[in-house]
Amino acid sequence: MHMEFPTPAIWFPHRVSYGETDTMGVLYYAEYLHIFERARSEYIRALGMSYAEVERRGIYLPVREAQCRYRAPARYDDLVLVHTAISEWGRASLKFVYELRSEDKTRLLASGMTQHALVNAEGRPVPVPDWFRNLCQNGGDA
Amino acid sequence: MHMEFPTPAIWFPHRVSYGETDTMGVLYYAEYLHIFERARSEYIRALGMSYAEVERRGIYLPVREAQCRYRAPARYDDLVLVHTAISEWGRASLKFVYELRSEDKTRLLASGMTQHALVNAEGRPVPVPDWFRNLCQNGGDA
Amino acid sequence: MHMEFPTPAIWFPHRVSYGETDTMGVLYYAEYLHIFERARSEYIRALGMSYAEVERRGIYLPVREAQCRYRAPARYDDLVLVHTAISEWGRASLKFVYELRSEDKTRLLASGMTQHALVNAEGRPVPVPDWFRNLCQNGGDA
Amino acid sequence: MHMEFPTPAIWFPHRVSYGETDTMGVLYYAEYLHIFERARSEYIRALGMSYAEVERRGIYLPVREAQCRYRAPARYDDLVLVHTAISEWGRASLKFVYELRSEDKTRLLASGMTQHALVNAEGRPVPVPDWFRNLCQNGGDA
């Protein structure tokens, strides 16, 4: 099934808070996108550079599309793990994929993706710089 | 383009608050899902019944999938209009579609969808009840 | 009790969404501050100028302190009304007060306040400009 | 200044996400209450029991009042530390206090408190049970 999750990948842990749940007693559907954002920030940090530093170098990654498929609920106080990787590169874009799993990783709770443009401070598309692609593919190489 | 938005449809107005924006100065991408939820609640209300009442009748509409394509940013204090309708019915499911537009409706800012299961209080799938389908297709008929 | 709510005041209506509630089935406590923000934005707009326009004139109102007392819960789909006014002026500060009430105004659900500094774009305190004070005290006078 | 922060206390780390910031480029004021909630959950967990387990034992801690004083902004990607403790016990209530500090703990960014009732599943006030007080004062004693 999920034998081919892209690499490099990280597992980002997240504890579900009260404020993220709703009247149904489950993690509210919009909160998954907040968690995905945290996961991709940590992904970039794990490779050796914070996303804040990427922005200081003049590269921004606005989200062009987001999608999430909700398979099983997460509840208050659950520790979930988000498998996170970049699955595709375009000339001036990239795509992150996410799988949100139970603490023991056996249950797939949700899967999603975010498609990003690469733009400069003026919002204009820029080709993926070599230093950024090297960073994301090898880590630490910047 | 978008000549064939399904009917019946509503336009749901939403004022972008400070708390919904982010460091880039734009409406944060997860907030669109909150706004979509508000829009579909008002959609059902406009047809003559609140979603709270639908739940009291034993029908719940958990989100199974959500997707949003971000075309142009919205900013603090912008009034946006969300064109909202049901585009598909399954045996025990339905799909909402949304277009988020500028106040004068000329600019498409985002388009998205949410796919919902129909379940009972125990979370088991239930076929779309006639009263609910009539409500959503004709309005007021409950 | 609440015979002396300051004037001018507005009643800001807010419909509680699913995403604002939590596992206890009630409006989550942090969401009140979001609603207060919406209420004070509408307050300024009601006086004849948007807060966005106030910022364009170089005046910012960062929150220095916020407080809320929760008296009775609000639930999904409730329409609540937020009584909103400015209660105090300092040389370079002002204070908003809020009462969140049930739709028929008979039940007080929460009361709170936010204390704001007036600062310029560099974040330095500025005395309340006459045009802003006139706006807030008389409305429309700008 | 803050020489007498109550004990036992924890330091809860939190990384500021994009979605928590606003157009001013700073952590939005309502988000502090979300972070305080995370901090007090971890506080109880650190003592040897999750808050979810406390609820399963029939004790709920709804917030009766919340307050926060904002002293210096936090920004995207900042790691902040939240000093967290219980400062007061009532017969059927307790009070948490929080100090949010920069990563190196030298700068106080915000201080706040939350006042909680102890109630049962029906929402009725209950005196603080011995097991809960022992837990919070000694840790692990349940």
- Residue A39's domain is classified under what CATH number? 3.10.129.10
Q: What angle do CA B91, B94, B99 make, to 5 degrees?
A: 160
| Cβ pair A18:C28 closer than 8 A | yes
pLDDT at D139: 63
pLDDT at B3: 61
Residue numbers in B near A31 (CB within 8 A): 30
pLDDT at B4: 87
Residue numbers in C near B18 (CB within 8 A): 37, 41
Closest-CA residue of A relative to C76 is: A23
Q: Hey, is C51 helix, strand or coil?
A: helix
pLDDT at C141: 40
Residue B120 belongs to what domain range?
9-138
Alpha-carbon distance D29 to nearest alpha carbon in chain C (angstroms)? 7
Average pLDDT of B41-53? 92
% of chain C at pLDDT higher than 90: 86
pLDDT at A139: 64
Residue numbers in B near C50 (CB within 8 A): 77
What are residue C116's DSSP bridge partners? C63, C94
Region of C123 please: left (phi>0), alpha (psi -120 to 50) or beta.
left
Judged by average pLDDT, the poorest of A7-11, B100-104, C39-43, D3-7 is: D3-7
pLDDT at D142: 37
Nearest residue to B142 via CA among B56, B24, B14: B56
| Cβ pair C38:B50 closer than 8 A | no
Q: Hey, is D4 helix, strand or coil?
A: coil
Average pLDDT of D49-56? 90
Query: Torsions phi, psi of C76, nearest 5?
Result: -50, 135
Q: Which of B37, B62, B65 sits opposite A68 (nearest CB)?
A: B65
**pLDDT over 50 at C142, yes or no:** no
pLDDT at D3: 60
Alpha-carbon distance A69 to nearest alpha carbon in chain B (angstroms)? 4
* D22: contact with C, CB 8 A cutoff: no
**Omega within 30 of 0 (cis) for the link into B8:** yes
d(C-alpha B86, C-alpha B72), whole Å: 24
Using the Cα atoms of residue B6, residue B12, residue B13 and residue B14 in order, give the sign of their dihedral: negative
Q: Which of B64, B66, B70 sits opposite A63 (nearest CB)?
A: B70
* A117: contact with B, CB 8 A cutoff: no
pLDDT at A141: 40
Q: Is C6 exposed, middle or buried (0-12, 13-18, 19+ CB in 10 A)?
A: middle
Q: Give the total residue count for chain A.
A: 142
* A17: contact with C, CB 8 A cutoff: no
Please report whether residue A115 resides in a domain: yes
pLDDT at C139: 64
Residue B80 pLDDT level (bands cut at 50, 70, 90): very high
Residue numbers in C near B52 (CB within 8 A): 76-77
pLDDT at A137: 80
Q: Hey, is C49 helix, strand or coil?
A: coil
Six-digit token pair at B59? 């029908």
Please report whether residue B4 resides in a domain: no
Neighbouring subunits of C (3+ Cβ pairs under 8 A): A, B, D
Please report whether residue C4 resides in a domain: no
| Cβ pair B51:C17 closer than 8 A | no
Task: Find out whether A111 and A131 touch, Cβ atoms under 8 Å.
Answer: no
Q: Hey, is A76 helix, strand or coil?
A: coil
Q: CB neighbours (10 Å) of residue C120?
A: 11
Tell me the C-alpha to C-alpha distance, in Å, between residue A15 and each of A27, A59, C80, D12, D118.
11, 30, 31, 13, 24
Q: Give the total residue count for chain B.
A: 142
d(C-alpha C90, C-alpha C115), whole Å: 10
Q: Which is more confident, D47 or A137?
A: D47
Closest-CA residue of C relative to B32 is: C19
Alpha-carbon distance D68 to nearest alpha carbon in chain C (angstroms)? 5
Residues in contact with D120: Cβ distance below 8 Å, sequence separation at least 6, in sequence order? D58, D59, D60, D126
Domain count, chain A: 1
Q: CB neighbours (10 Å) of residue A22?
A: 23
Please report whether residue A21 resides in a domain: yes
Mean pLDDT (10-residue bins), chain A, 142 residues:
82 98 96 98 93 92 98 97 97 97 98 97 94 80 39
Neighbouring subunits of A (3+ Cβ pairs under 8 A): B, C, D
**pLDDT over 70 at D60, yes or no:** yes
Q: Which of C19, C52, C77 sits opposite B76 (nearest CB)?
A: C52
Size of interface A-B (CB pairs under 8 A): 49
Q: Is C8 exposed, middle or buried (0-12, 13-18, 19+ CB in 10 A)?
A: middle
Is the ipTM value over 0.90, yes or no? yes
pLDDT at B137: 80
**pLDDT over 80 at B140, yes or no:** no
Say what the pTM is.
0.95
Q: CB neighbours (10 Å) of residue D71?
A: 14
Please report whether residue D113 resides in a domain: yes
Residue B139 pLDDT level (bands cut at 50, 70, 90): low
The mean pLDDT value of chain D amounts to 93
**pLDDT over 80 at D55, yes or no:** yes
Tens digit of each residue's pLDDT (9 = 90 or more) over D68-108: 999 999 999 999 999 999 999 999 999 999 999 999 999 99
Residues in contact with B121: Cβ distance below 8 Å, sequence separation at least 6, in sequence order? B58, B60
**Distance between the two ends of chain B, CA-based, in angstroms?**
34
Alpha-carbon distance A1 to nearest alpha carbon in chain D (angstroms)? 31
With residue A42 as reference, give the H or E element that holds it. Answer: helix A31-46
Average pLDDT of B104-123? 96
Tens digit of each residue's pLDDT (9 = 90 or more) over C58-95: 999 999 999 999 999 999 999 999 999 999 999 999 99
DSSP A62: -
Residues in contact with C55: Cβ distance below 8 Å, sequence separation at least 6, in sequence order? none
d(C-alpha D98, C-alpha D83), whole Å: 5
Please report whether residue B3 resides in a domain: no
Residue numbers in B near D19 (CB within 8 A): 22, 28, 30
**pLDDT over 60 at B66, yes or no:** yes
% of chain B at pLDDT higher than 90: 86
**pLDDT over 60 at B59, yes or no:** yes
